[in-house]
């Protein structure tokens, strides 16, 4: 059976937002399962001793230019968040708690979190915003808050961060396929090519 395509993402990362749906389409087209691993990139960088690259003015200027261009390229609605950088730990905990029993709904939940933040400009650091996501319509705000604050989401998010560090990820989106690694939304063409031409060794 073909191995899964794994995606490490951060809900605060516009490039993760850009890559999610195209990667899901590639996985479906080639009969591969898509495994989503929401993480906190800042927590990975902290473990790795990496300084936040956007602290450098030149990198920050390029980033602001590139995300607008990239959103247009991928045909996605996009607003530059304010503040620019957040910790998406509440969204990450919610994702991991929700999908513990509903793995089939992970893509929908991830997509709705990204759309709330990057398309609608909503504050995903607010539990009320997360509770209002369409796929959670059957849940009470109290149930959603319990998932955010509960031990399962916290533990699974922490495990995903540790897994990402062990996988030596260098940023997000970071994809692994049949033992090979790909970094960045601009690697989607290479992933498509690799799916068509699997490694023989």
- Work out the number of other CB atoms within 10 angstroms of the CB of residue 42: 18
User: CA–CA separation, 34 vs 54, rounded Å?
Assistant: 29
CB contact at 8 A, 68 and 78? yes
CB proximity list for 21: less than 8 A, separation 6 or greater: 111
Nearest CA-CA partner of 108 in 142, 130, 125, 133: 133
**Catalytic residue status for 13:** yes
Q: What is the H or E stretch that residue 193 is in?
A: helix 188-196
Task: Write down the catalytic residue from 13, 70, 87, 111.
Answer: 13
- Mind telling me the catalytic residues? 13
């Amino acid at each position: 059976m073909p191995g899964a395509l794994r995606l490490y993402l951060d809900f605060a990362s516009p490039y993760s937002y850009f890559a999610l749906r195209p990667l899901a389409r590639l996985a479906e087209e080639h009969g591969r399962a898509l495994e989503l691993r929401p993480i906190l990139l800042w927590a990975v960088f902290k473990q790795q001793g990496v300084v936040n690259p956007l602290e450098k003015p030149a990198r920050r200027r390029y980033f602001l230019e590139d995300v607008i261009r990239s959103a247009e390229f991928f045909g996605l609605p996009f607003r530059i968040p304010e503040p620019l950088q957040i910790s998406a730990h509440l969204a990450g905990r919610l994702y991991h708690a929700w999908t513990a029993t509903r793995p089939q709904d992970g893509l929908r939940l991830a997509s709705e979190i990204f759309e709330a933040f990057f398309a609608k400009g909503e504050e995903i650091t607010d539990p009320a915003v997360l509770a209002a996501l369409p796929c959670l319509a059957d849940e009470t705000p109290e149930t959603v808050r319990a998932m955010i604050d509960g031990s399962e989401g916290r533990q699974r998010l922490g495990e995903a961060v540790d897994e990402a560090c062990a996988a030596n990820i260098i940023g997000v989106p970071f994809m692994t396929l049949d033992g090979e690694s790909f970094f960045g939304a601009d690697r989607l063409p290479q992933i498509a090519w690799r799916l068509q031409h699997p490694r023989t060794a």
